Amino acid sequence: MNALTKGLMMKDKAARKIKINILRFDPNIPNDRPRIDMFELEEAPGMTLFIALNDIREHHDASLKFDFVCRAGICGSCSMLINGRPGLACRTLTSTMEPEIMLAPLPLFELIGDLSVYTGNWMRGLNERLETWIHTQEEVDVERLEERMEPELAEEIYELDRCIECGCCVAGCGTIQMREEFVGAVGLNKIARYRLDPRDKRDDDDYYELVGDEDGVFGCMTLLGCEDVCPKELPLQSKIAYLRRKMVEVGLNKKD
Amino acid sequence: MKHDRLHKSVDAYLKLHNSSTPARLDFVQSVTGFILALFIMGHILFEATILISKDAMYAMTRFFEGYYFFGETYPGIISFLAAAIFIILIVHTLAALRKFPSNYRQYSIFRKHSAEFRHNDTTLWLWQVITGFMMFFLASVHLYMMMTNPGDIGPFASADRIVSGWMWPLYLVLLISVVLHTFIGLYRLALKWGWFEGKKPKESRKVMKKIMIAAIVFYIGIGLAALGAYIVIGIEHSDKVGARYHPTEGGQQ
């Protein structure tokens, strides 16, 4: 029985009361201080944390701030710390948890207020720093057919392209908590993605300039928090290991 | 590509090239760690020959002193081996140190993160730091003694050192920390470089973790049993400290 059917079967039983504790703080409100607010609500069948938060905002406290767009695990907006672990609110069924739940905003990112953080700003900085776009000298000719690619390779690139920049891997990374300059799994995954892409003409020496240091792949301590919390189940462990092997090869052959 | 990019803007000129040192350090840390892990896996088994018999342990000692190659014993071989391991240990420590939290702020952030996250592999790393730190001191004492007194290894000599020489508390703590550090380290090494990943890395990781736990239990078990055996011998031999073991009739000469 998977979590969803378990959640749907709930309706046969008496509805459970759940307590949701939320760490609240809005840096934009003068004199606001961090506090924990507790909301008690009745669990509905198939209730996700995203539904519960909307319930709270509708019936308990209209000032509660949290982000969501797609409610289907595609946009990556509703990432937060759920009982201390990063995850997407829309993909977390309350029925899979104890009746007392603790929610907090993702650490490291700029806090907008309560559970809402500005991941976009951070991710943009990362993308600019790692130049996560196709680098090529070829003139783009929109009239011409695109170059063919093996379906397996296209699949492989697409697999890594599924990253939604939700920030869960960043919040689950012990390394980046200590050393904020570290690029994190999201950054390393992107480099792995462009490295696979034959349209990107950069070689390993170029990638070494981007991630061949202790803020890059050599900073990774293989704690694998990223791998274990990624809501899209990206193959972060094997891609980081792969990148490490390639970058060590470059480093060991370097002259300086 | 690199040069095209460099010519694009003044900004690009100002970008320093990444040094090769971080790559070398990462590589050296793994290689030295791997060598030390192999060494420890052998070491604990060799010393556990005392569980078979005093003669077996005696023969093993003679083997490492080169008796079966040269016809006589050269404890200097042990000194040389201990010195080599000491050097590898120092290099490993030097390379691994860069991963330690470098101030209290980093340490407390990590502790808090690990406590809230309740994520096994994150906690395991903390164990690596703690056991690694303990071994700065424990392993150094042990290695220095082996370097300077290579001849004092044998069924009675080792037991005397452990009991009458008061080494058992150090060995007890060293055993536990070295076994944890070795097998957590090997597990993490495999994940770090993508060894034995197979088609399903998540499944392989679960298997590797089981092997890691089994190896820790096995090695701590056999290590404790051996230490216990030496302690028993050491207590029995405590009135004749310094006297050496002579193999029984029919034992290895």
- How many interface pairs between A and B have CB atoms less than 8 angstroms apart? 118
> Would the CB atoms of A218 and B26 count as touching at under 8 Å?
yes
| Structure tokens that stand for A94 in this block | 């309350």
Q: Is residue B157 part of a domain?
A: yes
What integer pLDDT is reported at residue B11 of this predicted model? 44
Q: Tokens 């701590």 belong to which residue?
A: B220
Residue in A closest to B3 by C-alpha = A206
pLDDT on residue B12: 44
Selected residue of A102, A224, A226, A242 to mutate for chain B interface (largest B Cβ count, 10 A) = A224
Assigned domain for B246 exists: yes
DSSP strands (E only) in chain A = 17-24, 35-42, 79-82, 85-88, 100-104, 110-113, 116-118
| B63, part of any domain | yes
Ranges in chain A, pLDDT < 70: 1-13, 256
CB contact under 8 Å between B20 and A252, yes or no, is yes
Residue B7 pLDDT grade (very low, low, confident, very high; cuts 50, 70, 90):
low
Residue closest to B187 by CA, chosen among B128, B101, B246, B112: B128
How many C-beta atoms surround the C-beta of residue B200 within 10 A? 10
**Of A234, A115, A71, whose CA–CA distance to A165 is shortest?**
A234
Pairwise CB contact (< 8 Å): B26 & A178? no
> Six-digit token pair at B93?
């420590």
What's the pLDDT at B235? 96
Selecting from B4, B18, B24 the residue whose C-beta is nearest the C-beta of A137 gives B4
Classify residue B145: in a domain, yes or no. yes
Query: For residue B196, is it within any domain?
Result: yes
Question: pLDDT-derived band of residue B3, with 50, 70 and 90 as boundaries?
Answer: low
Mutation site, B4, B15, B18, interface A, largest A CB count within 10 A: B18
Indicate the average pLDDT of chain A.
93
Mean pLDDT of the B172-188 span: 98
Judged against a pLDDT cut of 50, whether residue B8 lies above it is answered with no
- Nearest chain A CA: its distance from B251 CA (Å): 49
The total number of structural domains in chain B stands at 1
Please tell me the total number of residues recorded for chain B in this structure. Answer: 253
Label the pairing between strands A100-104 and A17-24: parallel
Sign of CA dihedral B240, B246, B249, B252: positive
Domain-located, residue B188: yes
Residue in A closest to B15 by C-alpha: A209
A17-24/A35-42 β-pairing = antiparallel
How far apart CA A243 and CA A231 sit, in angstroms, is 22
Structure tokens belonging to residue A107 = 């650490």
Would you state the pLDDT for residue B18?
A: 87
What is the average per-residue pLDDT within B157-186?
97
Q: What is the mean pLDDT of residues B155-178?
A: 96
Band (B39; pLDDT cuts 50, 70, 90): very high
Q: How confident is the model at residue B253 (pLDDT cuts 50, 70, 90)?
A: very low
With contacts defined as CB-CB under 8 Å, which chain A residues touch B19?
213, 254, 256
A88-133, pLDDT tens digit by residue? 999 999 999 999 999 999 999 999 999 999 999 999 999 999 999 9
Q: CA of A112, closest CA in chain B: separation in Å?
A: 21
Q: Is residue B12 part of a domain?
A: no
Please give the model's pTM, rounded to 2 decimal places. 0.90
CATH number of B32's domain = 1.20.1300.10
- Left if phi > 0, otherwise alpha if psi is -120 to 50, otherwise beta: which for B41? alpha
Range of the domain at B157: 25-252
